[in-house]
Amino acid sequence: MFFFSLLCLQGVALHADALPAITIIIDDMGNHQAQGEAALELQGAVTYAFLPHTPYAVRLAEKAHNQGKEVMLHLPMDAREGNALGPGALNLHMTETQFKQTLWENLNAIPHVSGLNNHMGSLLTRHPGAMGWMMQTLTEEWPELYFIDSRTTRSTVAQDIASEYQVPNTRRDVFLDNEPSADAIERQFRVLIELARRQGYAVGIGHPYPQTVAVLQRVLSDLQIENVRLISASTMIELQQRRKSWPEPSSPLLRVAKSSKL
């Protein structure tokens, strides 16, 4: 009886993790109150990433937290294109002390932060030294935080360095609204869903554009019909870690439990 109960419990856990899962992160929160408020109306475990030192970041982050939403720091970093990054940007010209102090100030600027991802950063995330300073700071001073590599360049080393420092991490799979039309956003959402079906999980990043919010309001309501879960960024990282650590079952019954479908 004990073995049967244990097998059932393992089967339930495996079934839950076997369901395809997606994470949606809404970046660039904090500059516009009305857009931010509208984005916070999205249903389910949407995660929100706030730019530091922006006019509405603290107010909207507090509201997100009070609604049970997960809050991230959206950390500005040097870009190859030379784009304006806004306050709190990390760049290659900083000394180690300046870099770590700016990171510390940014993390303290947003309440209820669970993790962070890069805003732009196509230049900075290519540099192991700068990424090492960041991950060292997280490991030593903010060990409870995770990092998500937005992958604004194929040459990024940010996630690899995070893993070296044992910072919980994952990566962006799909940008939802690089082309900010409703049809294009919905197509990208379908790409996200199909990727989750193939590999078990997928992370999408969007922005609080009115058209993005409108599409997400519609498509997220259909996830249950699609048999796909929407989970927070931290839950996604935990899921990926569990999947990587799944042992190969030794008994035929456990192999059946692991491979069976709902």
In this structure, are strands 229-230 and 47-50 parallel, antiparallel, or unpaired?
unpaired
Burial (0-12, 13-18, 19+ Cβ within 10 Å), 172: buried
How far apart CA 158 and CA 121 sit, in angstroms, is 10
Give residue-wise pLDDT tens across range 197-239.
999 999 999 999 999 999 999 999 999 999 999 999 999 999 9
Question: What sign for the dihedral angle of Cα 8, 224, 39, 117?
Answer: positive
pLDDT-above-90 percentage for the chain? 83
Mean pLDDT of the chain: 90
Query: Range of 29's domain?
Result: 20-259
Q: What is the dihedral of CA 181, 184, 188, 189, to 10 degrees?
A: 60
Q: What is the pLDDT of residue 229?
A: 98
Whose tokens are 């916070």? That residue is 40
Query: pLDDT class for 246, splitting at 50, 70, 90?
Result: low
- State the DSSP code for 48: E
Kindly state whether residue 34 falls inside one of the protein's structural domains. Answer: yes
Q: Which uninterrupted H or E stretch holds 81?
A: none
What is the distance between the alpha carbons of residues 13 and 41, in angstroms, rounded to a whole number?
30
Is residue 13, in this structure, part of any structural domain at all? no
pLDDT digits (tens, 9 = 90+) for 227-238: 999 999 999 999
Q: Is residue 141 part of a domain?
A: yes
Least confident range of 10-24, 34-48, 50-64, 116-130: 10-24
Q: Is residue 8 part of a domain?
A: no
Count the domains in the chain: 1
Report percent pLDDT > 70 for the chain: 87
Which sign, positive or negative, has the C-alpha torsion 8, 12, 13, 19?
positive
| Domain assignment present for 59 | yes
Residue 6 lies in a domain: no
Q: What is the pLDDT of residue 244?
A: 83
Residue 73 covered by a domain: yes
Q: What pLDDT is stored for residue 15 in this prediction?
A: 58
Asked whether residue 69 is domain-assigned, the answer is yes
CATH of the domain at 178: 3.20.20.370
Are 42 and 221 in contact by the 8 Å Cβ rule? The answer is no
